[in-house]
Chains A and B, each alone.
Chain A
Amino acid sequence: MVEAVLRLENLRKRFGGLVVTDNVTLDVLAGELHAVIGPNGAGKTTLINQISGLLACDAGRISFGGHDITHLPAHARAGLGLARSFQVSSVLPGFSALENVALAVQAHTGSSFRFLRAVAGEAALNEPALALLAQVGLSDIAGKPAASLSHGERRALELAMALATGPKLLLLDEPMAGAGRDESARLLRLLRALKGRFPMVLIEHDMDTVFALADRISVLVYGRVLASGPPAQIRADARVLAAYLGDGTE
C-alpha cells in the first residue's frame, strides 16, 4: 500500500446557502498525478484554495505528509512543501522573471530576515533560480519584467516558482488555461516531465491533457465527488458521462 501524501477527509465549505464543497474525501498517493475535473462551478478552485490555505474549511480535516494542516495559514503550508499555481497567472509583475523565481527559492533557503546584504547578487538564490528557468524554457528572458511576458511564459514562470519552493506536492489550478496551441504543447511536455517526480493535484478543463496525464481522476459535481478512479474507469462511468462528459464538453 502506497502512503498518501495528501488526504482530505469529509471537507465542507459553504458560502451562505450554497454548499461548494460537500463532504469531499480524496487522497493523493506518492508520485501520483490526481486530476480533479468537473463542470464550471463544481467547486474545483474552492477546493484548491482550501487545500492551500486561502480559504478556511467549515468542517473536515486535511493532512499532508503526516501533519494535520487543517488550521495552518497558507504560508506555513507552503513551508511544509505545498506549492500551487493559480488559474489566472499570479506572478510579481514588477519583478524580473529571475527575481520571481529567486524570491521563491529564498522562501526555503535560510532566513529572509536579513537586512544588509544585497540580494540581487546572491548566487545561492540566483543559480537554482536560473536552473529552474532553464528547466521551464525561460532562460532567454530571465531579465525581463514578468509584466512583459506572454501568457504562456507567465504560466511557465509560475510553474518554475512552484518548483523553486522545494515542493512535496504541486497543486495546479488549470495550468493550461488560456494558452495557445504551441504554448499548450510546451506546457504539456513540461507537465509530463514533472510527472512522477512530484505528486500533483491537477485541475484542468482540457480533457486531452487530463486523460493523457492522470493516474487517477476525481469528478467533482456541485461540490461532491461523483466518481473517483483510473481514467479508463472514469471514461466508462455512466454517471460521469451524464453529468459531465456527455454535455458536449469534449
Chain B
Amino acid sequence: MQRLPALAGKLPARFVERELLPIGIFVLLALIPALARLLSEGYLLSLCGRMMIFAIAAVALDLLVGYGGLISFGQAAFIGLGAYAVGILSVHGMGEALISLPAAILASAAFALLTGFVCLRTKGVYFIMITLAFGQMAFFTASSLAPYGGDDGLTIAARNTVAGTAVLRGEHLFYYLAFACLLGTYVLCRVLVASRFGRVFRGAKENALRVETVGFDVFRFQLVGYVITGALAGLSGFLLANATEFVSPAYMSWQRSGELIVMVILGGLGSLHGAILGTACYLLLEQWLSGLTENWKVIFGPLLVLVVLFARGGLLGAYGKLVGRLRHG
C-alpha cells in the first residue's frame, strides 16, 4: 500500500496517513495515564498497557507479514518464550530485569533462528503450517513443564526489579516502560523497512525469484527478519509476564497467534502503525462485546468477516477511502 517512502513526495494525504496518524496515536497513548486519572477510570490504564504489550508483537508481525510476505502462525510462541524466561528465572529467585529482559529476548531470538532455519526453506501455505507446528511444539513443551506449573501456569512472586529497585511496581512507570518499548519497536521497524536490508526484504515479497537472480541470498535476509520479529515478540513476552505476574502455556496457543494475525489485518497490513490500531480495535471490541453478552464471539466472528470483506486494507484502508471520498466530494 504505502511501501514507497522515496516516492511519498509531497502528497499531503500520504503525509497525514504516514506521519500525523502515528504521531497522533503515540501522543494519545502518552496521555492515557492523565486521562485515566481525570476520568477516574483506573482500568483504562491496565487496558491500554495490555494493548501496547500486544501491539509490540503485532507491529513485529506486520514487519514479517506486511513487508516480508511471510505469514507466520507461530508468533505467540515467541511471546510465550519471553514470558517463560521471566517466569522460570523468578522461580529460581532471579527477579532482576537487567538479567531477565536480555534472557527473554535472547530465548525468543534463538528459537526464531533455529526454527526459521527450517521454516524459511518452505513457501506459502507450507510456511504457515510449519510455523504453526513449531508454535504448537513450544505450547506442548510449556504444558508439560511440571516444575514450572505445567498446564496451570506459573505465578510470579513479584514484578522484576531494575538494578535492585522496584520501579516496575509503579503502575504509571510500568505503563511508560511499555509505551517506550512500543515506540522503540515502531521506530526500529520503520527504520529497518527503509534501509538497504529492508529493500531486499520487501523485494523478496514482491518477487523472490528476481531478487535471487540479481544476486541476493533471499534466505539469509528472511532469516534475519524472522529473528528480529521473534526477538521483539520476546520483548512483548517479558512485559506481559511482568504485567500479569503470571505465565501460562495459553500465551503460546495457536489461537493467540491467530489473534495477532487478525489484529494486523484488522489495522491494515504493511504500515506498522496499522498494527497498533488493529490491536487497540481488537482488544476494545473484545472488552466491549464480552461485557454485553456471554456469547460475544458469535458477534465478533461475523464482524471480522465483514471487515475483511468490505474494508480491504483494514482500518487504514477504510480511512484512506473515507479521506479520498471527502476530498473528491
Instruction: A161 to B202: give the CA distance in the assembly, Å.
Output: 17
- B35 close to chain A: CB less than 8 A: no
Residue A94 interfacial (CB < 8 Å) = yes
* Contact residues on B (Cβ < 8 Å of other chain), bracket: 20 to 34
- Which chain B residues (153-207) contact chain A, with CB distance < 8 Å? 191-192, 194-200, 202-203, 206-207
Chain A residues 86 to 130 lying within 8 A of chain B, measured CB to CB, are: 86, 90-96, 98-99, 102-104, 106-108, 111-122
Q: How far is the CB of A145 from chain B (nearest CB, A)?
A: 7
Q: Given A75-B218, A93-B206, A114-B196, are A103 and B211 neighbors across the interface (CB < 8 Å)?
A: yes
Inter-chain contact A54/B209, CB cutoff 8 Å: yes
> Chain B interface mostly helix, strand, loop or mixed?
helix
**Hey, which bits of chain A sit against chain B, CB under 8 A?**
52, 54, 73-76, 78-79, 83-84, 86, 90-96, 98-99, 102-104, 106-108, 111-122, 143, 145, 161, 164-165
Contacts of A78 in B (CB 8 A): 212-215
Contacts of A118 in B (CB 8 A): 5, 191, 194-195
Instruction: Pick from A74, A95, A102, A119: contact of B194, CB below 8 A.
Output: A119
Whether A90 touches B210, Cβ cut-off 8 Å, given contacts A113-B197, A115-B195, is: yes
* Contact of B321 with A by CB under 8 A: no
Q: How far is the CB of A215 from chain B (nearest CB, A)?
A: 25
Q: Does B3 have its Cβ within 8 Å of any Cβ on chain A?
A: yes
When distances are taken between beta carbons in the complex, the residues of chain A under 8 Å from B210 are 86, 90-92, 161
Within residues 71 to 121 of chain B, which ones have a CB less than 8 A from any CB in chain A?
Answer: none
- Chain B residues lying within 8 Å of A113, measured Cβ to Cβ, are 196-197, 224
User: How many Å from the CB of A108 to the closest CB on chain B?
Assistant: 6
| Interchain CB contact under 8 A, B196 and A90 | no
Whether B6 sits at the interface, judged by CB under 8 Å, is yes
**Cβ contact of A96, chosen from B4, B197, B216, cutoff 8 A:** B4
Give the CA-CA distance A103 to B197 in the complex, in Å. Answer: 10
**What is the CB-to-nearest-CB distance from B5 to chain A, in angstroms, rounded to a whole number?**
6
Residues of B contacting A84 in the complex (Cβ-Cβ under 8 angstroms) = 213
In the complex, what residues of A have CB within 8 A of residue B198's CB?
115, 119
State the CA gap A90–B212 with chains docked (Å).
Answer: 12
Please name the residue on chain B nearest to A106 by beta carbon. Answer: B196
Q: In the assembly, what is the distance between CA of A116 and CA of B212, in Å?
A: 23
27 A-B pairs (CB sep. < 8 Å): A73-B217, A75-B213, A75-B217, A78-B212, A78-B214, A86-B210, A90-B207, A90-B213, A91-B210, A92-B203, A92-B206, A94-B3, A94-B202, A95-B202, A96-B4, A96-B6, A99-B6, A103-B214, A107-B216, A108-B215, A111-B196, A115-B192, A117-B195, A119-B194, A120-B5, A120-B194, A145-B4
Determine if B221 is an interface residue (Cβ-Cβ < 8 Å).
Answer: yes
Instruction: State in angstroms the CA–CA spacing of A96 and B192 once bound together.
Output: 19
Interface: B7 (CB within 8 A): yes
Task: Report the Cα distance A96→B200, complex, angstroms.
Answer: 14
Q: Are B3 and A74 within 8 A (Cβ)? A: no
Is A106 touching B200 in the complex (CB atoms < 8 A)? Answer: yes
Nearest-CB residue, chain B, relative to A171: B213
Nearest CB of chain A from residue B119's CB, rounded to whole Å: 19
A95 near B4 with CB under 8 A, answer yes
Closest to A78 in B: B215
Query: For residue A120, which residue of chain B has the nearest CB?
Result: B6
